[in-house]
Structure 1
Amino acid sequence: MKRILVVEDEQAIREMVGFALKKAGMQFEEATDAEQALVVIASNPPDLVLLDWMLPGMSGVDLARRLRHDDVTAGLPIILLTARVDESDRVHGLEVGADDYITKPFSPRELIARINAVLRRSGAELEDQPLEFDGLSLDPVGHRVRVNGDPLNLAPTEFRLLHFFMSHPDRVYSREQLLDRVWGRGVFVEERTVDVHIRRLRKALNRRGHDRFIQTVRGAGYRFSVRD
């Protein structure tokens, strides 16, 4: 049974979400602010965090950023809940570390579908053959990435994206193709989301000087290549 931590200060929303999760066969845990959430996560990490943007004290965005920068929680799937509908807000939420973004109001059916989609991506079986290019190595079984021997922590979506690129080097893929192959069919994700996750992956690789491997092909999409 998947454990979902809902971090939300509005009781009515927590109750609605909790009912939907239990009906879907998931275990529901709750926290009303970031500090409570950190205690729960530290004692027993959930399978996914459903995180409200506007929280008292530390915001949901700041909590997501903190979780992504902690080695222990860097790979924890996160979905942001918010009433903000502007594209810039959606992009900001994804850039700080969220794997998906749901705007209020939302239906329980959509919520469960998107939770399941993120859980599938984070827990899906990948081909178990280790991959390595010019000091960049990826172990699908151990879910580890190393650059010149040093560990590199990636969020679930960036890990799957890097695995796909390294499994298909020197081939150009459009945003639509990447959504289909990495996110999967029938997901509630815009093509713009691909660009955000590409930036996050490049930023992580840039710390070790390997961001050059992810190349933009103008008018076509992206490719992974160790060639100049």
Structure 2
Amino acid sequence: MQKILVVDDDPHIREVICFALAKAGYATVTAADGRQALSLCERERPALLVLDILMPEMDGTEVCRRLRADPARDHLPILFVSSKDDEIDRILGLELGGDDYVAKPFSPRELVARVKAILRRTALPAPGTAARTMQHGRLRLDLDRYRAEWDGQEVVLTLTEFGIVRTLLERPGKVCSRDHLMNTAYELHKIVADRTIDSHVRRVRAKFAAIGAEPVETLHGVGYKLGPCE
């Protein structure tokens, strides 16, 4: 059973989410605030984090920032949940590295569907199954394990960051507009802002730059493209 960490300061909301996830076959652990969530992430090693934004002690955005700054937990999928159905909050959550967003009041069935979709993208292939890969120069993507490598060295990306690199790799050397990246890198939420894509691309560049690589090129006012990767 895959384990989901549910973080919300409202015990009723935690109970509803855990009940829905348990019916879908997931194990759950819970936290009432951000500090407890970080501790449980370390101890429980969950497959996914369902994270409320507005909480005491430490809010969900700060939890996300700390996880994304930790190379050991940077890849942990995060589904944000918040009572504030405001575009600014949605964009902020995605810019920080969230993989999806659900607004309260939500349908438990919808939340479970989004959890399944995220975990499906991170599932390992069955033993003996040939890996599906894409490669361009020194850049290689393992599509089944959501693993990116540059010259054999792993670059840990979030699901959305991986989706952006995959989209660029499908058309190496050709420019992808921000609209195209929005419609391909985001599988469940299509309505995001240009600056959200720009934020994700900046993080992708920073991660590759840390190992001396610069695969993504900008055409100002147009979009992004994958360079020669030599």
Q: TM-score, normalised by structure 1?
A: 0.80
Return the alpha-carbon distance in structure 2 between the equivalents of residues 149 and 129 of structure 1. 13
Distance 2:123 2:181 in 1: 18
Classify 1:182/1:91 alpha carbon distance in 2 versus 1 (closer, same or farther; 3 Å): closer
SS in 2 for 1:192: coil
Distance 1:213 1:103 in 2: 34
Distance in 2 of aligned mates of 1:175 and 1:116: 27
Q: CA deviation at 1:25?
A: 1.6
Q: Does 1:40 align with 2:44?
A: no
Match of residue 213 from structure 1: 217
Query: What is the distance in 1 between the residues matched to 2:131 and 2:186?
Result: 16
Greater shift, 160-169 or 16-25, is seen at 160-169
1:176-228 Cα distance to aligned partner (Å, 9 max, x none): 654554444xx3x123267524531333314616264254663xx6543449x
Per the alignment, residue 165 of structure 2 pairs with 162
Q: Which moved more, 1:34-43 or 1:138-147?
A: 138-147
Contact 1:213–1:226 (8 Å) recurs in 2 = no
> How far 1:147 sits from its partner (Å)?
5.1
Unaligned segments of structure 2, at least 5 residues: none
What aligned pairs does 1:179-194 form with structure 2 within 5 A after superposition? 181-184=184-187, 187=188, 189-192=189-192
Name the CA shift for 1:161/1:53 in 2 (closer, same or farther; >3 Å).
same
Shift of 1:19: 0.9
Post-superposition shift, 1:64? 0.5
Q: Secondary structure at the match of 1:191?
A: coil
Alignment partner, residue 111 of structure 1:
111
Evaluate the alpha carbon distance shift between residue 3 and residue 20 of structure 1 in structure 2; reply closer, same or farther with a 3 A threshold. same
8 Å Cα contact 1:80-1:102 kept in structure 2: yes
Secondary structure of 2:192's partner?
helix
Note if contact 2:51-2:80 (Cα within 8 Å) is conserved in structure 1: yes
Q: Does 1:85 align with 2:85?
A: yes
Structure 2 equivalent of residue 63 of structure 1: 63
Partner of 1:200: 200
Q: Greater CA deviation, 18-27 or 204-213?
A: 204-213
Unaligned 5+ runs, structure 1: none
* Identical residues among aligned pairs (%): 34
Deviation readout 1:10-63 (Å, 9 max, x if unpaired):
100001111111111211211112222222211231111000111221111000
C-alpha RMSD over aligned residues: 3.0
Q: Which moved more, 1:15-24 or 1:150-159?
A: 150-159
Structure 2 distance, partners of 1:97, 1:91, is 10
